[in-house]
Amino acid sequence: MPYITTADGTQIYYTDQGSGQPVILSHGWPLSSDAWQVELKLLADHGYRAIAHDRRGHGRSSQPWQGNDMDTYARDLAELVEQLDLHDIVLIGHSTGGGEVVRYAAQHGVGRVAKIVTAGAVPPVMVKSESNPDGLPIEAFDAIREGVLKDRSQFYQDLSVPFFGANREGSKVSQGARDDFWRQGMLVGLKAAYDCVAAFSETDFTEDLKALDVPILLAHGDDDQIVPIADAAVKSIELVKHGELKVYAGAPHGIAGEYQEQLDADILAFLVK
């Protein structure tokens, strides 16, 4: 399996499929690059070089004690890009991965990044504070940490329900999709899973979004129960220079079913604009 080794000795797993303009896909918490299997094939079939990595602590990558923070995630991505010598890159990030690609593009990717797509992404900032009164209370994230520590297997099974909107009338998400969410979650090291909650909830991406000077497609379901759209994409679109907001009616946080089909079609269309 292909890996790169970062400056601090962490091994980052990645998959690399197809040829053409590089498209890097960054996954959400607590998943891995496996979450992008459909998109990897789709992009490669359409003439792109599709690359997806497992964030440190997740999937098949190393599980170091340190570095489970957004700055380090972005540096890891920068090292992957540099070691593969990638240019004219399209970045795609879901949820936590949306934060990772935004920070990478703003702080490391100038001159290398051509376009960005985020889906259900965490920017600008999730947690409630004096400067962000509309955010989610810290208690919501404390509950996630408690669930991970107490019984992460059951917690991931339970979390798959709101993640895919399985608690909504008419939901068509399969048990298989929920099982795969659990499977990927169980590959995350406990320390990484715990620390990453702060990374995705407390990191402020406001200045990163303002710094972006490339086209960005902000995709978000309006029934996202994990990253509410009003606190995320609706605010982010006001901060970026060249943004397009795409709202998916009734879509949840997890990318599956009709939402996945619509999003994938929109990604392909955005890539050729």
Which segments of 46-169 does DSSP mark as H helices, in order? Answer: 70-84, 96-107, 138-164
33 is catalytic: no
Q: Which two tokens stand for residue 259?
A: 């939402």
Of the listed 53, 58, 94, 253, which one is catalytic? 253
Catalytic site residue from 26, 95, 160, 201: 95
Q: How far apart are CA 39 and CA 264, in angstroms?
A: 7
Let me know if 180 is a catalytic residue: no
DSSP summary character for residue 246: E
Beta-carbon count within 10 A of 192 CB:
22
Report the C-alpha gap between 51 and 228 in whole angstroms: 28
Residue located via tokens 């170091």: 64
Per the annotation, the verdict on 53 as an active-site residue is no
Among residues 76, 208, 224, 231, the one annotated as catalytic is 224
Nearest C-alpha neighbor of 198 from the set 134, 127, 254: 127
Q: Which residues are catalytic?
A: 95, 224, 253
